[in-house]
């Protein structure tokens, strides 16, 4: 473990008071000096009398010629009276200095140096702090120095060779009585050599053949010398900083605003104009100036200068190059200020640059009006979505009534609807007394029902195909018995699907009157056209009203009707319907052998 030494140099804060000692002479007490000395236990240190810090007041040679003598006293910690120093080989005087070779923990306290002769006396105290060695901590390759240790600074340009000298080496050379002192160098607690050839110790100096960024950091040098047969030492630390080399351009430049940059400002508000300047490192030339002008005048020379103020702050430092920011604050920015010329300027010993800030007034958008319009638009869209979601059937019906095309003028067909259902079942009552009645009497559609509209003596298959081809819609009333109690319904369904697939002038509409089983036989036919078929469900009493969803959904799928008389359905009365029903029962007895086999298959599925 090597030791550390620190001397804090500063102006002495001297409190002047006049006291008298027990002799006859008066002694001016300058109080305690701001210069304080801190040393590590076992280190060599010296105390310089602060009275000689200002040669214009006291000079050691002139005071000796005038008969003044320098005396040292010590005021230990916790004592009120000073004690005279007993000089020895460890504690000695050399002109205006008091040497401790080495310092011990018990040496801490205030030391008083007194300069006096028979007619005058002056004294001042200086504090000495001795730090124990066990208070110095070393972590890995980073040394944590005591708080009292000060560090000198050294600047070396990149890619340049330079030499580090250990401070106060000549003081050790004066005190050494056996040969010159030697120096040991450390960096990050690693002793020289450092593992590369760019840094080489030459005698007591450390030579940097080529400075690179990684060589920055804290360097420690320990000076060892011999005196009175003892080896003594003290340590100094140097913080090495790399800067850009001398051949790098050193003229200042403005980084922001760029030439094409435009600052957006708002009239009537507080405006902040930013300027960022780069000042390259210049050795021994510390001039760095940054300012604003308005219309070519400094801010303090403006008639309305109370509206303008600026601040300058340091942003960062990179290898000695310093970046500064200046903010021009304009209170209550006026529209007339847009035509004024705002310039930011930077200057150092090597050059000068100025740049104008381009201004543009902010276009204020009517935020309240836009917010209201956006809110109303969103509310309207949401309302329309809700209305369409709830009343989409009504909307479609209104659209069809105004813009729909009446198919009766183009297709030359006789019937609007052909109804296919299971005979002698609950569905037949639904078709004859509910579905037919509403379609013909209320909605004014021409309806074709085979048992009612067919003539006796004809062929069932031919007439069925003829009726289906002459109809615009095929309305299939589904139930679990559909296709299992006769072949007439299946024939109608097959004819409708084939006509829809081949010709395309017929649409098939499915009405689910009752729930159908999963293994329902007509599913094979329906799966073939499932994408083109429409399924509407009858929900009993809920669907009886003409304003129910069932009838609206059915009207959307049926042809557009713009009025006019019904054709054959209006000519039939209820008695004729009963006679046609009896005829249809007789026709249903005539079936082919293939139809009987199909009925047998359906009966097996139901069982």
Same-domain check for residues 475 and 586: yes
pLDDT at 491 over 90: no
Q: Please name the residues in contact with 441: beta carbons below 8 A apart, sequence gap of 6 or more.
A: none
Q: Specify whether the CB–CB gap between 233 and 168 falls below 8 A.
A: no
The percentage of the chain sitting over the pLDDT mark of 70, rounded to a whole number, equals: 81
- Tell whether 212 and 257 lie within a shared domain: no
Q: How confident is the model at residue 417 (pLDDT cuts 50, 70, 90)?
A: very high
The Cα–Cα gap between 533 and 525 comes to 11
* 162 & 282 share domain: no
Determine the pLDDT at residue 524.
60
Whether the per-residue pLDDT at 104 is higher than 60: the answer is yes
> Which of 194, 216, 243 is at the close of a domain?
243
For 344, the domain range is 253-361
Q: Is the pLDDT of residue 594 over 80?
A: no
Domain boundary among 361, 379, 396: 361
Q: Supply the pLDDT for residue 145.
A: 60
Do residues 121 and 191 share a domain? no
Cα 108 to the center of its chain, rounded Å: 55
**CA atoms of 153 and 158, how far apart (whole Å):** 16
End residue of a domain, out of 243, 264, 287: 243
Q: Is the pLDDT of residue 454 over 50?
A: yes
The confidence score (pLDDT) of residue 458 equals 75
Peptide bond into 89 cis (omega under 30): no
Q: Is the pLDDT of residue 411 over 70?
A: yes
Question: What percentage of the chain reaches a pLDDT higher than 90?
Answer: 31
CA angle 12, 15, 17 (to 5 degrees): 140
- pLDDT bucket at 77, cuts 50 / 70 / 90: confident
pLDDT(52) > 50:
yes
Please indicate, yes or no, if residue 77 is contained in any of the structural domains: yes
The rounded distance, in Å, linking the Cα atoms of 282 and 320 is 8
Residue 592 has pLDDT above 70, yes or no: no
Task: Give mean pLDDT, residues 205-215.
Answer: 93
Q: What is the pTM of this model?
A: 0.54
Pair (532, 463) in one structural domain: yes
126 and 267 both lie in a single domain? no
- Has residue 369 been placed in a domain? no
- How confident is the model at residue 395, as a pLDDT? 83
Predicted pLDDT at 236: 87
551-569: average pLDDT: 70
Calculate the alpha carbon distances from 4 to 8, 101, 191, 231 in Å.
Answer: 13, 14, 15, 16
Tell me if 208 sits within 8 A of 198, measured CB to CB.
yes
pLDDT digits (tens, 9 = 90+) for 322-336: 999 999 999 999 989
Task: Tell me the pLDDT tens digit for each residue of 500-548.
Answer: 878 777 888 999 888 766 666 555 656 655 666 888 999 888 888 988 9
State yes or no: is 41 an active-site residue.
no
* 347 band by pLDDT with thresholds 50, 70 and 90: very high
Residues 127 and 160 occupy one common structural domain: no
Residue 360 has pLDDT above 70, yes or no: yes
pLDDT for the residue 200: 93
Instruction: Answer with the residue of higher pLDDT: 213 or 573.
Output: 213
Task: Spell out a b/e string for 116-143, using b for 16 or more CB atoms within 10 Å of the CB, else e.
Answer: beeeebbbbbbbbbbbeeeebeeeeeeb
Q: Are residues 201 and 265 in the same domain?
A: no
- Band (pLDDT 50/70/90 cuts) for residue 18 is very low
169 lies in the same domain as 126: no
Within a domain: residue 394?
Answer: no
pLDDT at 9 over 50: no
pLDDT at site 366: 76
Which candidate, 255, 247, 249, places its Cα nearest to that of 350? Answer: 249
Whether residue 390 lies inside any domain: the answer is: no
Catalytic position from the list 32, 82, 171, 492: 492
pLDDT at 80: 72
Q: What is the pLDDT of residue 273?
A: 94
| Distance between start and end Cα atoms, the chain | 105
The pLDDT, as a whole number, for residue 268 is 87
Residue 229 lies in a domain: yes
Average pLDDT, the chain: 80
**Does position 223 have pLDDT exceeding 80, yes or no?**
yes
Residue 543 belongs to a domain = yes
What pLDDT, on the 0 to 100 scale, is given for residue 147?
Answer: 53
Based on the domain organization, do 264 and 130 belong to the same domain?
no
CATH number at residue 327: 2.60.40.10
Which range has highest mean pLDDT (325-334, 396-405, 448-457)?
325-334
Domain membership of residue 110 (yes or no) is yes
pLDDT at 228 exceeding the cut of 70? yes
Lowest model confidence (mean pLDDT) among 12-26, 198-212, 263-277, 413-427: 12-26
Task: Assess whether 425 and 561 both reside in one domain.
Answer: yes
Residue 128: φ, ψ to 5°: -120, 130
Q: Average of pLDDT values for 278-294?
A: 87
Q: What are the residue ranges of helices labelled H in 421-535?
A: 426-430, 436-437, 450-453, 460-469, 488-502, 523-528
Q: Which residue has the higher pLDDT, 326 or 266?
A: 326
What is the reported pLDDT for 604?
A: 40
388 inside domain: no
Same domain, 516 and 428: yes
Residues with Cβ < 8 Å from 572, sequence gap 6 or more? 452, 453, 580
pLDDT at position 188 is 78
Q: How many domains does the chain have?
A: 4
What local confidence, expressed as pLDDT, does residue 563 receive? Answer: 52
Q: What is the mean predicted confidence (pLDDT) over 188-200? A: 86
State the pLDDT confidence band at 279, using cuts at 50, 70 and 90. very high
> What is the reported pLDDT for 353?
95
């Amino acid at each position: 473990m090597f030791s550390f030494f620190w001397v804090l140099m500063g102006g002495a804060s001297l409190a002047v008071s006049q006291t008298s000692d027990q002799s006859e002479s008066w002694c001016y007490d300058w109080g305690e000096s701001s210069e304080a000395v801190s040393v590590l236990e076992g280190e060599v240190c010296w105390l310089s009398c602060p009275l000689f810090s200002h040669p214009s007041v006291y000079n050691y040679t002139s005071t000796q010629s005038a008969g003044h003598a320098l005396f040292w006293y010590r005021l230990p910690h916790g004592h009120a009276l000073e004690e005279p120093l007993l000089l020895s080989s460890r504690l000695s005087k050399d002109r205006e200095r008091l040497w401790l070779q080495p310092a011990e923990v018990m040496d801490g306290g205030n030391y008083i140096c007194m300069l006096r002769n028979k007619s005058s006396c002056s004294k001042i105290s200086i504090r000495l702090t001795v730090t124990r060695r066990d208070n110095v901590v070393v972590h890995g390759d980073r040394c944590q120095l005591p708080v009292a240790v000060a560090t000198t600074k050294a600047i070396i340009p990149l890619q340049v060779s330079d030499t580090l000298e250990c401070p106060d080496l000549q003081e050790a050379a004066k005190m050494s009585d056996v040969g010159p002192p030697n120096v040991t160098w450390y960096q990050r607690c690693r002793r020289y050599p450092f593992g590369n050839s760019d840094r080489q110790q030459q005698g007591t100096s450390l030579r940097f053949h080529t400075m690179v960024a990684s060589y920055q950091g804290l360097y420690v040098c320990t000076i060892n010398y011999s005196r009175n047969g003892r080896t003594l030492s003290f340590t100094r630390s140097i913080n090495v900083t790399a800067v850009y080399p001398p051949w790098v351009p050193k003229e200042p430049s403005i980084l922001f605003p760029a030439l094409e940059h435009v600052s957006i400002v708002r009239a009537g508000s507080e405006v902040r104009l930013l300027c960022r300047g780069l000042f390259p490192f210049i050795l021994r030339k510390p001039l760095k100036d940054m300012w604003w002008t308005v219309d070519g005048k400094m801010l303090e020379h403006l008639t309305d200068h109370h509206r303008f103020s600026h601040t300058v702050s340091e942003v960062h430092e990179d290898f000695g190059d310093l970046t500064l920011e200046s903010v021009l604050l304009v209170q209550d920015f006026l529209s007339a200020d847009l035509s004024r010329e705002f310039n930011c300027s930077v200057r150092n010993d090597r050059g000068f640059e100025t740049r104008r800030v381009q201004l543009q007034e902010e276009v204020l958008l009517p935020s309240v009006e836009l917010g209201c319009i956006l809110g109303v638009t969103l509310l309207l869209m949401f309302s329309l979505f809700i209305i369409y979601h709830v009343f989409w059937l009504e909307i479609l019906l209104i659209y069809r009534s105004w813009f729909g095309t009446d198919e009766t003028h183009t297709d030359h067909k006789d019937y609007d609807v052909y109804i296919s259902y299971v005979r002698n079942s609950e569905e037949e009552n639904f078709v004859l007394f509910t579905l037919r009645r509403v379609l013909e009497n209320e909605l004014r559609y021409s309806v074709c029902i085979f048992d009612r509209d067919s003539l006796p003596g004809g062929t069932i298959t031919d007439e069925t195909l003829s009726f289906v081809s002459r109809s615009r819609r095929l309305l299939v009333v589904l139930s679990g018995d559909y296709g299992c109690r006769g072949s007439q319904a299946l024939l109608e369904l097959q004819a409708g699907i084939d006509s829809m697939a081949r010709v395309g002038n017929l649409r098939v509409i499915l009405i689910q009157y009752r729930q159908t089983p999963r293994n329902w036989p007509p599913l094979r036919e329906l799966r073939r056209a499932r994408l083109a078929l429409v399924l509407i469900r009858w929900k009993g009493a809920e669907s009886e009203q003409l304003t129910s969803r069932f009838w609206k959904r059915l009207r959307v799928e049926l042809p557009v009707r713009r009025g006019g008389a019904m054709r054959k359905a209006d000519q039939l009365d209820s008695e004729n319907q009963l006679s046609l029903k009896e005829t249809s029962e007789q026709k249903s007895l005539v079936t082919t052998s293939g139809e009987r086999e199909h009925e047998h298959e359906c009966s097996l599925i139901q069982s």
